[in-house]
Amino acid sequence: MDAFAGAEVPQPDPNPAAEVKPMVRYKGVTKSFGDLQVLKGIDLEMQPGEKVAVIGPSGSGKTTMGRMLMTLEEPTEGTIEVDGELLWHMQEKGRLVRANEKHLHRMRCSVGMVFQHFNLFPHMSVLRNVTEAPRKVLGLSKEEAEERAVSMLGKVGLDDKLKMYPANLSGGQKQRVAIARALVMRPKVMVFDEVTSALDPELVGEVLEVIREIAEEGDMAMMLITHEMDFAKEIADRVIFGADGLIVEQGTPEEIFDNPRSERLQNFLQRFR
């Protein structure tokens, strides 16, 4: 990360009113795990409220892109901003340096992520799974956290399961708890990473329905990493096709699904027909 020390500080836009400030901005982002370069230079902007679906073959770096936004992986090169603030870096004495823990912690709260395998706390009730972060991270009182949590669990249709434990829930219910747990922090951006891939087919619909409702509320930017092509087509404003660590093609759902330009995307989509 020392590569960033002394890097040029980006200058403010001379005419900031001319464009809407993006909610998310990846600039020249690369990521390597040892010798394996997983991302080879990603430039991506997401506007406030924009729903972006990320599709592409397994191993093309989609999850890694999402995990970076959630600060679970650090970029090897490049910068990521959320709502105009650098996620992994900060400015110190006019220089771009690696973010300290305090800055990272603050920025981490602006992004929520839901994972393929739920990642619920197995020893905690549904209610406690959802109140834990608001209490520990946001410092809310038990009453405030529970009020927020119950309201959010109502939104995902689980306010009658507050005292249950994850082991006694179906996969679809577990995933809805995980969604409530992320939303209760009131993030600016949500990342949904293959959230239906581990579910039995009959449970996929209830989870997609919850995501559809959140999307329809409109104001939150959403990154939806998915193999559910019909769903991506239905709710995304823009679809990104990634392969081999690069964004190969992007456009509206109609452009990507009905008129794919690159052979790579055409071949990829064949598998879903």
The minimum distance between CB 104 and ligand ADP, in angstroms, equals 18
Give the residue, chosen from 63, 71, 131, 226, that forms a contact with ligand ADP under the rule CB under 6 A: 63
Distances in whole angstroms, Cα of residue 93 to Cα of each of 7, 14, 102: 12, 22, 17
Binding mask 10-49 for ligand ADP (x = CB under 6 A): -----------------------x----x-----------
Angle at CA of residue 268, ends 262 and 272, nearest 5°:
135
Q: d(Cα 184, Cα 248) in Å, to the nearest integer?
A: 34
Tell me whether residue 17 or residue 36 sits nearer to ligand ADP (CB atom).
36
Tell me whether residue 66 or residue 172 sits nearer to ligand ADP (CB atom).
66
Which amino acid is it at 12?
A: P
Using CB under 6 A, count the residues that bind ligand ADP: 10
Give the residue, chosen from 60, 173, 196, 226, that forms a contact with ligand ADP under the rule CB under 6 A: 60
Tell me whether residue 63 or residue 173 sits nearer to ligand ADP (CB atom).
63
Nearest in space to 239 (alpha carbons), one of 104, 44, 66, 64: 44
Distances in whole angstroms, Cα of residue 244 to Cα of each of 27, 30, 62, 67, 240: 18, 12, 10, 17, 13
The minimum distance between CB 245 and ligand ADP, in angstroms, equals 8
Give the residue, chosen from 29, 46, 51, 64, that forms a contact with ligand ADP under the rule CB under 6 A: 64
**DSSP string spanning 141-172?**
-HHHHHHHHHHHHHHTT-TT-TT--GGGS-HH
The minimum distance between CB 161 and ligand ADP, in angstroms, equals 30
Position 61 contacts ligand ADP (CB under 6 A): yes
Strand-by-strand arrangement of the 77-82 sheet: 36-46, 24-33, 77-82, 85-86
Name 30's bridge partners. 40, 77
Give the residue, chosen from 58, 93, 101, 217, that forms a contact with ligand ADP under the rule CB under 6 A: 58
Tell me whether residue 127 or residue 191 sits nearer to ligand ADP (CB atom).
191
Question: Which residues contribute to the site for ligand ADP (CB under 6 A)?
Answer: 33, 38, 56, 58-64
